[in-house]
Structure 1
Amino acid sequence: MLPIVPPPILISAYRQGLFPMAESRRDQDIFWVEPRERAIIPIGEFHCSRSLARTIRREVFEIRVDSDFAGTVLACAQPRATGEDTWISGRIAASYQRLQEVGHAHSLECWQGPEGEQELVGGVYGVAFDRVFCGESMFSRRDNASKVALGWLLALLQRAGCQLFDCQFMTGHLASLGAIPIPQAEYLERLEAARGEQRLSLPQALAEVQREALAYSSSPGKLIAHSLTQTS
């Protein structure tokens, strides 16, 4: 078993605009990636369709943060339905698990099922430092679960004071949700501008939404859907 990448090295790499990948989930060697073009979703500009807002408002899924980080990473590491392998190797998964333990990685999860029998059915995880969140991967076992997770994540990050949400590589799916491509040089400038502490951590932002919903006799889903449709 190869050693994990220590948290200080991982965070140092991310602050320089780098991130680790493996050739496949069974390959324990890693390499560092610095794309020429970076995909980001500007904070406050997540594209929330009416149908997605309705799903969030109805609270089809129970939303949790860091309830099962390891399970979220493991689900993201599974081969896709197309048969395509993923880059999340055992070494990378273990490295992010350690990063989560020291407070620099989080998962936003969708759970579904009867009380006491809920299943993890979708989610997204990533790396958190300064006022930056680097989304690493997401998965879905139910319709729209990953979209709901990403929408919730962006809404909570905005509330927390995050300034930069990185989603690494541009895809058509991410573009439909508000992602835009920027040159790596501009990304590095945005990284530097986002130095400093956020107002809240991701778990604290979720707790704040839950308290507000209780105080206003509303629901967390309604508050999040409202924030997303106000800023989309």
Structure 2
Amino acid sequence: MEMIGAAQDARSIRVRLDVQLALTGDGEAERRLAETAAPGDGEAVDAAVACLGLAHLAWQRQQYDEAHAYGARVTRILSGWTSPQPQPQAMLRVAVAVLDLRVAQARPMPGENPDAHAVALLTLAREDALSSKDLPIIGAWAQGGAELAAYRGDDETARELFTLATRVGTHVGMFFPPGQAERLDAALADEERRESLLVAWRGRPVAAAAARIRELMSDLLA
């Protein structure tokens, strides 16, 4: 069993590496991602990460329909996925919510409601994020909330959630689309105000920051 687990870990590391390589223009890495993302091929988590990587590649190429379609494939994989570990589901749902919001900012799609979709995904991610007690995952959930708040033009909530995510520690890394987040970046433009918020929260316990995240996200997703 240990050998099987090690092999699965090696495959997952390979997929994450292929995502990074594909984003730098490595065609072979892109081909491997497409193979891993194929239905019924390999572990669900690897297929979901591969689909997310292909979505980010399409986003980078400004192929927004394709990016959206790959994000939808991640959601479909997650809908049939059961795992004793809540972290991957939470992170991937947050990632797709952020992807959809960024795509909607770049090119709105007729008939789509990215706000409602983001709310649905972040709501599904809530239980997994909070039950994991994993602060970086809770921070990623908060950062997804910051993107949603910024999308709505609620800059104050966006700033506070982003600051709280920084306080508890989050490592979204490859899980969020590469490049700038137009509305969130605008909400965070007041660096002095953002820093003053962070200084205030650094003086308080992490548990208090996590509790404030739950409170803000509850209001945001209501």
Q: Which has the higher contact order (CA 8 A, sep 6+)?
A: 1
TM-score of the superposed pair, with normalisation by structure 2: 0.30
Higher strand share: 1
Higher helix share: 2
